[in-house]
């Protein structure tokens, strides 16, 4: 049976060890090989994606070349720029994969604005890592040139952090619905969306990055998706991770996951946002289903419903 599915791509689906345009295009060709299975199975597909490394690198390039006559662009504009570049790569890669399967399907990338609140507490506590990992020496050198905040991230070095407010609304969600209803595979909400606030009925960009899993949930909620699929680096979410009694979660309920959250089973900067987004989607759409799994497990998900599947 045809379903409307929102798939949120993790960073490893776009950027591997080669940050060049060619390297990221190669990664997205690999990603498209798996995504095409949803389309071949007859489902309506909306694709969202992260942009943490890309927007961070772009901001760094902007800062290094900035002059009075050629100033660096702000974060919201950088998010829009990476929505365009990643969407362009993904769109072409997916069309090529569909041609190989003799599937004629239009694919479109939609610049997506996401409404946040000016009073969101996140603006007082920057927390969302963007850009490359830096050594302590590199971080100290960067801090001398910018007022940015840096934190140690996952034991792999220091990264710049910016505010990460919660999404309230998706400006273009009616357009996403129209595209999908007309058979267009839609790439939207890239990088969590362009963060905007509303003042006197007008949208204004703000210096922030929205978590792509929360933005993906909001899109799935508003377009009344049947399923939200959040892709990550593992086939299943686990409890007691990296311990002798590690256990993979398969079919679980919202109540199960909320209990595990209380037990601090999920890392705040890694799996927790994905779990919270999945829970929110189920609560807003009681008949919906949320799945957290890997890109490589998509075929098994479609054929055997394997992965971490969360229901009410």
Catalytic residue positions, numbered = 11-12, 128, 212, 274
CB contact at 8 A, 99 and 122: no
C-alpha closest to that of 114 among 189, 46, 59, 54: 189
* CA gyration radius, the chain: 19
25: Cβ contacts below 8 Å, ≥ 6 apart:
89, 92, 93
CA distances from 205 to 72, 76, 262 (A): 15, 6, 35
Query: From edge to edge, which strands make up the β-sheet containing 128-134?
Result: 128-134, 158-162, 149-152
Whole-angstrom distance, CA of residue 82 vs CA of residue 49: 11
Residue 64 has phi, psi (to 5 degrees) of -70, -30
First to last CA, the chain: 20
Contact 62, 78 (CB under 8 A): yes
For 73, list phi and psi in degrees, rounded to 5: -80, 150
Cβ pair 147, 198 in contact under 8 A = no
Q: What stretch of H or E contains 149?
A: strand 149-152
Go through the chain and tell me how many residues it has: 312
Q: What is the C-alpha separation between 263 and 243, in angstroms, rounded? A: 15
Residue 267, SS3 per DSSP: coil
Residue 306 CA to its chain's centroid (Å)? 21
Nearest CA among 62, 47, 38 for reference residue 13: 47
């Amino acid at each position: 049976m045809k379903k409307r599915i929102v798939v949120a791509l993790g960073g490893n689906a776009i950027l591997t060890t080669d940050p060049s345009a060619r390297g990221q295009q190669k990664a997205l060709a690999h990603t498209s090989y798996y995504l095409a299975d949803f389309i071949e199975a007859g489902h309506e597909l909306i694709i969202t994606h992260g942009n943490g490394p890309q927007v961070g690198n772009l901001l760094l390039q902007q800062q290094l070349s900035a002059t009075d006559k050629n100033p660096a662009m702000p974060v919201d504009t950088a998010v829009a720029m990476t929505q365009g570049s990643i969407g362009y790569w993904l769109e072409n890669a997916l069309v090529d994969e569909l041609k190989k399967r003799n599937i004629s399907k239009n694919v479109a990338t939609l610049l997506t604005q996401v409404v946040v609140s000016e009073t969101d507490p996140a603006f007082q506590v920057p927390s969302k890592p963007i850009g490359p990992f830096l050594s302590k020496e590199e971080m100290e050198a960067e801090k001398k040139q910018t007022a940015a905040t840096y934190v140690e991230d996952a034991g792999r070095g220091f990264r710049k952090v910016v505010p990460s407010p919660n999404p309230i609304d998706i400006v273009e969600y009616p357009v996403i619905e129209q595209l999908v209803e007309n058979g267009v595979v839609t790439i939207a909400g890239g990088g969590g969306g362009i963060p905007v606030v509303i003042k006197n009925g007008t949208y204004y960009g703000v210096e922030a990055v929205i978590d792509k899993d929360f933005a993906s949930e909001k899109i799935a909620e508003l377009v009344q998706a049947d399923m939200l699929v959040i892709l990550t680096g593992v086939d299943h979410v686990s409890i007691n991770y990296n311990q002798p009694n590690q256990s993979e979660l398969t079919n679980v309920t919202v109540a199960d996951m909320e209990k595990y959250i209380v037990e601090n089973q999920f890392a705040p900067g890694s799996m927790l946002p994905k779990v919270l987004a999945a829970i929110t989607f189920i609560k807003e759409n009681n008949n919906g289903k949320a799945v957290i799994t890997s890109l490589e497990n998509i075929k098994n998900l479609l054929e055997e419903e394997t992965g971490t599947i969360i229901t009410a």
